[in-house]
Structure 1
Amino acid sequence: MENLAPLTLGVTLLCCVLGVAGIHVYASGKAQREALVHRLSSTQQIPTVGRQRRFRGVDRRLKSTGLGKKIEIRLAATGLDLTLGEFFVYMVATIAGFWLIASWLLASFFGPIAALIALWSAFAFLNWQRQKRIEKFINQLPDLSRLLANATQAGLALRMALTMAAEELEEPAGEELAKVANAVAVGHSLEDALNELAERLPSRELVVLVTTLILANRSGGKIVSSLRNLTETLEERKETRREVRTQLSQVTMTAYIVPAMGLGCLLFIDNLYTGALDKVTSSTVGQLAILLSLGLYTLGFFLVRRLAKIEV
Structure 2
Amino acid sequence: MDNLVPLTIGVTLLCCVLGVMGQHAYSSGKAQREALVDRLSSTGQIDLGSQRRFRGLDRRLRRTGLGKRIELKLAATGLDITPGEYFFYVLCCIAGVWLIAASVLASFFGPLAALAGVWSANTFLNWHRTKRTEAFIGQLPEISRVLANATQAGLSLRTSIAMAADELEAPAGAELRVVADQLAVGRTLDDALDELAERLPSRELVVLVSTLILSNRAGGQVVSSLRNLTVTLEERKETRREVRTQLSQVNTTAYAVPAIGVGAMLLVNSILPGALDRMTGTVAGQIAVIVSLGLYALGFVAIRRISKIDI
Give me the TM-score of the superposition, normalised by structure 2.
Answer: 0.89
Q: 1:214 to 1:267 in 2, by over 3 A?
A: same
Instruction: Give distance in 2, aligned partners of 1:283 and 1:297.
Output: 21
Q: 1:50 to 1:222 in 2, by over 3 A?
A: farther
* Other structure's SS at 1:187 match: coil
Instruction: Give distance in 1, aligned partners of 2:164 and 2:226.
Output: 14
Residue 58 of structure 1, CA deviation: 1.4
Q: 1:26 to 1:201 in 2, by over 3 A?
A: closer
* Other structure's SS at 2:177 match: helix
Q: Choose 202-211 or 189-198, whichever is displaced more.
A: 189-198
Q: 1:298 to 1:228 in 2, by over 3 A?
A: same
* Other structure's SS at 2:175 match: helix
Q: 1:26 to 1:203 in 2, by over 3 A?
A: closer
- Residue in structure 1 matched with residue 195 of structure 2 by the alignment: 196
Give yes or no for the alignment of 1:145 onto 2:144: yes
- Residue in structure 1 matched with residue 171 of structure 2 by the alignment: 172
Instruction: Within 5 Å, give how 1:1-312 maps onto structure 2.
Output: 33-45=29-41, 46=44, 47-312=46-311
Q: 1:104 to 1:30 in 2, by over 3 A?
A: closer
2:288 maps to a residue whose letter is A
Once the two structures are superposed, residues 105-128 of structure 1 have per-residue CA deviations (whole angstroms, 9 ceiling, x without a partner) of 111111110010001100110111
Alignment RMSD (CA, Å): 2.1
Aligned length: 291
Q: 1:282 to 1:147 in 2, by over 3 A?
A: same
Q: 1:109 to 1:153 in 2, by over 3 A?
A: same
Residue 44 of structure 1, CA deviation: 4.9
Q: 1:110 to 1:26 in 2, by over 3 A?
A: closer
Instruction: Give distance in 2, aligned partners of 1:25 and 1:285.
Output: 68
* Other structure's SS at 1:101 match: helix
Runs of 4+ more than 6 Å apart:
24-31
Give me the TM-score of the superposition, normalised by structure 1.
Answer: 0.88
Q: 1:145 to 1:285 in 2, by over 3 A?
A: same
Q: 1:109 to 1:158 in 2, by over 3 A?
A: same
Identity across the alignment (%): 61
* Other structure's SS at 1:221 match: coil
Instruction: Give distance in 2, aligned partners of 1:186 and 1:51.
Output: 25
Once the two structures are superposed, residues 4-52 of structure 1 have per-residue CA deviations (whole angstroms, 9 ceiling, x without a partner) of xxxxxxxxxxxxxxxxxx9x99998777534422222224544234532
Once the two structures are superposed, residues 178-233 of structure 1 have per-residue CA deviations (whole angstroms, 9 ceiling, x without a partner) of 11111111111112111111111111001101111111111223211111110010
Q: 1:240 to 1:26 in 2, by over 3 A?
A: closer
* Contiguous gaps of at least 5 residues in structure 1: 1-21
